[in-house]
Amino acid sequence: MLPQEIIRRKRDGAALAAEEIAFLVRGITDGSLSEAQVAAFAMATFLRGMTRAECVALTSCMTRSGITLDWASLKPRGPVLDKHSTGGVGDKVSLMLAPIVAACGGVVPMISGRGLGHTGGTLDKLAAIPGYRTDPDIAQFQRVVREAGCAIIGQTDDLAPADRRLYAIRDVTATVESIPLITASILSKKLAEGLDGLVMDVKTGSGAFAASDAMARALADSIVAVASGAGLPTTALITDMDQVLGATVGNALEVAEAVAYLTGTQARTPRLHAVVLALAAEMLVLGRLAGSLAEARAKAEACLADGRAAEAFARMVAALGGPRDFTAHAARYLPRAPVTRPCTAQRAGVVAGMDARAVGLVVVSLGGGRRRASDAIDPAVGLSDVVGVGQAVAAGQTLALIHAADDADADAAVAELRQAIRIADTAPPAPPVIHARIDGRDGPGAAP
Is 184 within 8 Å of 163 (Cβ atoms)?
Answer: yes
Residue 147 has pLDDT above 80, yes or no: yes
Q: What does the pLDDT read at residue 380?
A: 97
Which of 92, 114, 190, 357 does the annotation list as catalytic? 190
> pLDDT confidence of 444, banded at 50, 70, 90?
very low
Range with the lowest mean pLDDT among 66-75, 234-243, 399-408, 435-444?
Answer: 435-444
Q: Which residues, other chains included, contact 256 with Cβ-Cβ below 8 Å and sequence gap of 6+?
A: 248, 330, 331, 334
Is residue 389 within 8 Å of 247, Cβ to Cβ?
Answer: no
Say whether pLDDT at 312 is over 60: yes
Note the pLDDT of residue 351: 96
- Catalytic residue check, 189: yes
Kindly list the structural domains of the chain, giving each domain's residue range(s) and its CATH number in brackets, ordered by start.
3-49 (1.20.970.10), 72-330 (3.40.1030.10), 335-424 (3.90.1170.30)
Per annotation, catalytic residue among 63, 122, 175, 235: 122
* The three-state (H, E, C) secondary structure of the chain, written as one string: CCHHHHHHHHHCCCCCCHHHHHHHHHHHHHCCCCHHHHHHHHHHHHHHCECHHHHHHHHHHHHCCCCCCCCHHHCCCCCEEEEEECCCCCCCHHHHHHHHHHHCCCEEEEEECCCECCECCHHHHHCCCCCCCCCCCHHHHHHHHHHHCEEEEECCCCCCHHHHHHHHHHHCCCCCCCHHHHHHHHHHHHHHCCCCEEEEEEEECCCCCECCHHHHHHHHHHHHHHHHHCCCCEEEEEEECCCCCCCCECHHHHHHHHHHHHHCCCCCCHHHHHHHHHHHHHHHHHCCCCCCHHHHHHHHHHHHHCCHHHHHHHHHHHHCCCCCCCCCCHHHHCCCCCEEEEEECCCCEEEEEECHHHHHHHHHHHHHCCCCCCCCCCCCCEEECCCCCCCEECCCCEEEEEEECCHHHHHHHHHHHHHHEEEECCCCCCCCCEEEEECCCCCCCCEC
Residues near 71 by beta carbon (within 8 Å), at least 6 away in sequence: 80, 107, 109, 142, 194
Q: At residue 446, does pLDDT exceed 60?
A: no
Query: What is the length of the chain?
Result: 448
What mean pLDDT is predicted for residues 279-284? 98
Can you tell me the mean pLDDT for 123-141? 93
Q: Residue 271 catalytic? A: no
Is 158 among the residues known to form the active site?
no
Cα-based torsion angle of the residue sequence 250, 252, 254, 258 in order, rounded to the nearest 10 degrees: 170
pLDDT at 111: 86
**Any idea which of 110-119, 406-415, 438-447 has the lowest mean pLDDT?**
438-447
Q: What is the pLDDT of residue 372?
A: 63
pLDDT reported for residue 441:
59
Of 125, 170, 268, 299, which one is the catalytic site residue?
170
Q: How confident is the model at residue 164 (pLDDT cuts 50, 70, 90)?
A: confident
Mean pLDDT, residues 397-415: 97
Give which of 351, 341, 377, 382 is closest to 254, Cα–Cα.
382
Percent of the chain with pLDDT strictly greater than 90: 77
* Annotated catalytic residue within 10, 52, 83, 341: 83
**For residues 306 and 298, what is the distance between their CA atoms, to the nearest angstrom?**
12
C-alpha 45/C-alpha 43 separation (Å) is: 5
Confirm whether 203 is a catalytic residue: no
Residue 146 reports pLDDT greater than 60: yes
Q: What is the mean pLDDT of residues 390-413?
A: 96
Q: Is 114 one of the catalytic residues?
A: no
Q: Assign 442 a pLDDT band (cuts: 50, 70, 90).
A: very low
Candidates 45, 63, 65, 85; catalytic one: 85
Q: How confident is the model at residue 183 (pLDDT cuts 50, 70, 90)?
A: very high
pLDDT at res. 374 = 65
* Amino acid (one-letter) located at 410: A
Q: Output the pTM of the full model.
A: 0.90
pLDDT score of 114: 63
In angstroms, the Cα distances linking 343 to 354, 364, 413, 415, 420 are 14, 17, 8, 8, 11
- Catalytic residue flag (residue 83): yes
| CA 303 remoteness from chain centre | 23
- Partners of 198 in beta bridges: 82, 234
Of the listed 10, 125, 133, 189, which one is catalytic? Answer: 189
Per-residue pLDDT reduced to its tens digit, 85-126: 988 899 999 999 999 999 999 999 998 866 555 666 888 999
185 is catalytic: yes
Is 82 annotated as catalytic?
yes
How does pLDDT run across 322-347, given as a tens digit for each residue?
999 999 999 999 999 999 999 999 99
Active site residue 10: no
Picking from 329, 355, 350, 374, the residue whose alpha carbon sits closest to that of residue 417 is: 355
Q: Which of 188, 184, 162, 178 is nearest to 68 (CA)?
A: 188
Q: pLDDT tens across 342-377, in order?
A: 999 999 999 999 999 999 999 999 998 876 656 788
pLDDT for 288 beyond 70 = yes
Average pLDDT over residues 4-23: 97
